[in-house]
Structure 1
């Protein structure tokens, strides 16, 4: 097999799957106890202002991407040359789904893959702690080759030719669509509430200097770069 299926991707899902069921959790203004029984200390609360809190500039994203990422690839087949530098994400697992990856491929550098796993785990833990039904995140864009960008820029004038998606450090998560783990459940959570839960997760990681985040209104996603 050409690419590493990293334990950092698979192990968290096995842990969570083994611990399914309603968790006995409590939440205060300072501490959240997760489904795995791990207390998460929060020093700040997300204000609710998405455009203000998640407005990291393209230059910051690009600086981190060029420092941590791979050299941009011309074609998708070039991933074979970088088999030791990239992690291939499974198409779908317990905590997330991929959505219409027509112009990107499911590869990230290890640090970005770890960041993505942490986001999905923390989002699930937050739902547990709030006694909310469980939902999966939608991953909408990952690594793009020059060929992918060439096609995309013809359709989308807002697509950047020097996109941080070229470096394997950046991915987009939808804030509009969430996949219910139990679609037939009577309890449904509106997307606005789930977006707020996800925003708090990203806010915490951003404050830990784990990532840069841009709230994309037109694309309805959080644009995230590992740092």
Structure 2
């Protein structure tokens, strides 16, 4: 009888130990899982990797010829309502500040404000990072891209259009989705380094060429302004069906004006 009691007690103890171990392991796994999840970075809007050895071929003006209406249509889809002026904090607070960093330098902005919507800021950072990676792969000094223009207020755009006939009043720069990168100016690293600008320009072009193919952005090669005019691309508009004619541009202008008017209701 005594042996039977001891046997039952041993089985009960074994069952309790098993349950305890099971609960302990489950809690550990759960806690570990939460810890790992907290350390995981957010999923990028641009997960694709580029070919660091890609060589750009073709004429810049022909390859990078996305029309203004494509840029504006994407700006309307992904951007903010047009910024009125520098004091328009209601809109500016919805955007990210853009400053010089390890991958690019922001030039002195005379007709734009240092802001972009988050998705456009991510695009700029991604281009800058890939530019740096290509230079490393080619064992070249770490030159930086130079950003020459960012978000323009309506006031700045009007002033610019009076001085420059090519600066359309209906500009994608007004939505915080667009930025310009110079193809003649690159910021050199500290110390004496020299690389022909044409080589750096073609490296930048090779990156933008792949970004366009992936549907990340629209690019216009600006010859007179010596820059690549870049707008982050959206995913809900079928741009292939967007006829870039006078009627389309007029409809976009009307839509932009309506967006401005709705802000003051």
TM-score (structure 2 length as normaliser):
0.67
* TM-fit CA distance, 1:122: 0.3
After TM superposition, give the deviation of residue 150 of structure 1 in Å. Answer: 1.9
Aligned length: 187
Post-superposition CA distance 1:184-214 (Å, at most 9, x none): 23xx110000000000111111111000000
Residues 1:180 and 1:199: Cα distance change in structure 2 (over 3 Å):
same
1:19 maps to which residue?
none
Larger radius of gyration: 2
1:130 counterpart (138, 150, 153): 138
Q: Normalized per residue, which structure has more strand?
A: 1
Which residue, 160, 163, 181 being the options, matches 1:152?
A: 160
Does 1:211 find its partner at 2:209? no
Is residue 2:211 matched to residue 1:200?
no
CA-CA distance at 1:110 after TM superposition: 0.7
Q: CA deviation at 1:160?
A: 0.7
CA–CA distance in structure 2, aligned partners of residues 76 and 136 of structure 1: 28
Unaligned runs of 5+ in 1: 1-10, 12-38
Q: Structure 1 residues 208, 189: CA separation in 2 closer, same or farther (over 3 Å shift)?
A: same
The verdict on how the C-alpha distance between 1:191 and 1:74 changes in structure 2, with shifts beyond 3 A counting, is: same
2-side partners of 1:43 and 1:93: how far apart? 24
- For 1:199 and 1:99, the matched residues in 2 are separated by 20
CA RMSD of aligned residues (A): 2.0
1:164 and 2:172 aligned: yes
Shift >2 Å, 4+ stretches: 39-46, 82-85
Give unmatched runs, 5+ long, in structure 2. 1-40, 42-48, 234-265
